[in-house]
Amino acid sequence: MGHFEASCRGQYPRGERGMTFLDGITSLLSHLRLKKYSPATLDNYGDQLKRFGEWLDKQSIHDLRQLSKQHIRDYQAYVKQEPIGRETQALRIRAVKRLFNHLVDQATILLDPTEGIKEISRREKLPRPVLTKKEMDKLFAAPNLSLPLGIRDRALIEVLYATGIRVGELEKVTIHHVDLPTQTLQIRHAKGGRPRTVPLGKTATKWLKEYLTQVRPRLAKRRPFERALFLVRGGKPLAQTMIRHLLQQCRKDANIKKSVTPHILRHTCATHLLQHGADIRAIQQLLGHVSLKSTTIYTRVVPLEVKATHTQYHPNERKDGPHEDQ
């Protein structure tokens, strides 16, 4: 039994009858292991499906055979309103479809409730509106720096903005992956199993140094063996859900109307670099994109912002109209 199945056993116990969530996910992950899928891929499927299991529990659905197409549509609507990136939304639905496709292939269930359900499209979609430099400054100023956790939160936001790191990658960064003298961060557990080293820059390095020297030792006092970079009170690692929650709180404190998620900060990092003349291939390497096509979407975002600036400031676009020739 894998780590994920073991962690779910107590939360989603096997029933005496029917096909429970734990039965289904155990079967799928066992099948993927036999197919030699990488541990990172298995962890990703496990993480995405765990969210589905939590939703099922809230709906008091304990037998997967009870699920109808409407249930899947309801879950898809639920996923769409979550404060997560569109790519993550697509992965959540894809994992559910993969689960039921497997169960039908194994003749464990007869009907696939995900059949005909369209995945959330990731193609030809521009990123959600990125933050402006002024909005980033407001976000940086949101944490209460008189508190240890405020310094931690400032360092976290600085790292997200400086590196464009994915939240799943950041969650697995340890203190040994930070090199303050060279101002770099090693991303060992990267998406697709492709590790990379990214620059932190002097500002993020400054805040990381303060966090590592002044705050983290206090947080890790009860768990001196813990190696995760960012910790909560008590010394446990700061999980993805907590990172998203603290960003939402900072957004409210800063009175920012736009959505603020780890993925928005990733898009903001890339867009601001492009706006200031960075080479798109350098941005590709920073973000860890395999294909340059994934990065070129930002070349479509910048012209939109230029258009918005033109509309706001060009004399011919102002409400009073163009001035007459003198």
The residues annotated with a catalytic role in the active site are: 166, 191, 263, 266, 289, 298
Beta carbons of 208 and 180 less than 8 angstroms apart: yes
Give the 3-state secondary structure of residue 228.
strand
d(CA 80, CA 78): 5
Torsions phi, psi for 290 (to 5 deg): -70, -45
Nearest to 230 by CA among 288, 143, 135, 129: 143
Give the 3-state secondary structure of residue 73.
helix
201: left (phi over 0), alpha (psi -120 to 50) or beta: left
For residue 126, give the amino acid letter: L
Residues 6+ apart with CB under 8 A from 17: 63
296-308 as b/e: b if 16+ CB within 10 A: ebbeebeeeeeee
Q: What is the dihedral of CA 84, 87, 91, 92, to 10 degrees?
A: 20
Provide the terminal-to-terminal Cα distance of the chain, rounded to the nearest Å. Answer: 82
